Amino acid sequence: MVLALLVSLAMVNVSYGAGPPNVYVDPATATSSPTGYVEVKVNVTDAPEILGFQFKLRVDKSILGFPPAQCNVTEGTFVSSAGSTAFAVLPNTLESYVHVGCHLTSTVGSPPSGNGTLAIFRYYVLEAGVTNLTLFDVKLYTYTTGGEVPGVTTQNGYFYTPKPFVDFDWTPVSPEVNEVATFNASACWDPDGGNITQYSWNFGDGNITVIGDNEPITPIITHKYSSYNESGWQVTLTVTDDESDTWSKTQTLRMWHELVAVNIWNAVALMQYDWWFMDTVDRKIIRGEYVWILGTVVNLGTYVDTTNVTLTARHVATDTTVDLECAWGGGPVVEETLGTGTAGGSGWDIMFEWYTNDALPGIWNLTLAATPVSGEVDTANNALSLTVEILPYGELSESLNELVSRTLGLHGRISIQDIVIAANAFGSEPGDSNWNPLADFNNNDKITIVDLVTIARPGTFGLEW
């Protein structure tokens, strides 16, 4: 009788002693080297009869790759062995996790239960280091109702590489020639708990220094470069740990001064006409116009550099030269400090003005030039030239009909330029330096308010073809 009772109690323990369902990463600790692969499974134990499951698995995406290119996720046999299934993999690279879901698609005689594999992950190892494999939002769904199984527990995983992690930086970011640059590899470490025993530096210029062979171990070293390099010096650090595992990292150190004059364009044309005139100045300028001309110089180098920018107009036929003045004052020389990258260009702040009342008609050559900076190797592109034509009589005509005809022939629009031309001649009479007979619409040998009103009146101003 006692024996029967003990057997009965043992059967009770067997039937009800199992814990709640547990979803876990297997193996709990995984390892592999960079550029290799590692396989981990997500398993379940003590599951009741289920219809399906879902979970999210987060990793450090700088260490382990992501689907579909660098991680292959396949369905385990736990659910699929019972019948046909729908299996989905949804990577979320922004939040560094993969969302996996699966459910049966038909009625089965024996729903999946107990222990088994839900999914298999085969990761490409991108870099040396460590990462947690964190399970969250884990859900199992009961076969009978489709409701969520309560009390599901989870166990995360851990991954590390036997290879040491390598990283380094340097200051200044772009050292000058023969300037001391300090390289710092303090970020290097051994993921498997060992120590770094050697730092081997290849500075890309033929110089190699090994720290650790009969020298105190230090992650910091200095170096000088004897020349500039547009494409950059390829600096490689190879680290060795106390188990003789090695890993390397290469970074590019650029040292280059480079200013380039890239654009000359007419600010008035830009503001009044079509935006596609941005890349060149409006090639026809009306004598008597006040013209704003923008010059753009960019810094393609790696240093913040200061240069002097000038815009010179040369009359081709007579070799007459005019240094145009800065529109903001300060004379014909504009001092510009140009940063690198997105801050490396200038345009609106390099604006020149040209009063063309006394300019000779004909072809003029505009040259935008930036003075070379110390250390600049390629200086030929510091200057940009463009030819323009100054028309002898301007855009105004002796009559309103001819005014419309001439204007349409040049710009296709009666614009503020026409009013500016007339305004420059306002109050003048024949013989005055600013006299322009084409602005005298009523032919009374004087430019008055009547002439300005004639061109500015509604129906004429803004007229287009």
Tell me: do 248 and 146 sit in the same domain: no
Are the C-beta atoms of 58 and 136 separated by less than 8 Å? yes
Question: What pTM does this model have?
Answer: 0.69
Tell me: do 322 and 367 sit in the same domain: yes
Flag whether 9 is in a domain. no
CATH classification at residue 190: 2.60.40.10
d(CA 240, CA 220) in angstroms, rounded, equals 15
Q: Which residue has the higher pLDDT, 10 or 300?
A: 300
pLDDT (tens digit, 9 = 90+) per residue, 393-452? 544 433 344 444 444 334 445 666 667 777 878 888 888 877 877 777 777 888 888 777
Tell me: do 451 and 434 sit in the same domain: yes
Residue identified by tokens 């100054």 is 390
Q: Of 391, 425, 444, which marks where a domain is finished?
A: 391
Which runs of consecutive H residues, i.e. helices, occur in 35-90?
Answer: 77-80
Rounded to an integer, the average pLDDT of 196-206 is 97
Q: Of 160, 178, 194, which marks where a domain is finished?
A: 160
Flag whether 420 is in a domain. yes
Q: At what angle do helices 400-410 and 449-456 cross, to 10 degrees?
A: 60
pLDDT of residue 273: 41
With 50 as the cut, is the pLDDT of residue 382 above it?
Answer: yes
Structural domain count of the chain: 4
Flag whether 58 is in a domain. yes
Flag whether 10 is in a domain. no
Tell me: do 244 and 359 sit in the same domain: no
Q: Of 240, 255, 270, which marks where a domain is finished?
A: 255
Q: E-strand spans in 371-450? A: 383-391
pLDDT of residue 341: 72
Write the CB contacts of 2 (distance below 8 Å, at least 6 apart in sequence).
none
pLDDT of residue 272: 44
pLDDT (tens digit, 9 = 90+) per residue, 68-80? 999 999 999 999 9
Are the C-beta atoms of 450 and 441 separated by less than 8 Å? yes
Beta bridge partners of 377: none
Highest mean predicted confidence (pLDDT) among 3-17, 21-35, 286-300, 356-370: 21-35
Flag whether 191 is in a domain. yes
Tell me: do 154 and 45 sit in the same domain: yes
CATH classification at residue 47: 2.60.40.680
d(CA 235, CA 257) in angstroms, rounded, equals 20
Flag whether 102 is in a domain. yes
Tell me: do 152 and 89 sit in the same domain: yes
Q: Which residue has the higher pLDDT, 172 or 1?
A: 172
pLDDT (tens digit, 9 = 90+) per residue, 283-333? 777 777 778 888 999 999 999 999 999 999 999 999 999 999 998 887 899
* Mean pLDDT computed over every residue of the chain: 85
Q: What is the DSSP string of 424-452?
A: HTTT--TTSTT--GGG-TT-SSS--HHHH
Tell me: do 137 and 87 sit in the same domain: yes
- Residue 429 structural domain: 400-456
Flag whether 7 is in a domain. no
Flag whether 221 is in a domain. yes
pLDDT of residue 328: 83
Dmax (CA) for the chain in angstroms is: 139
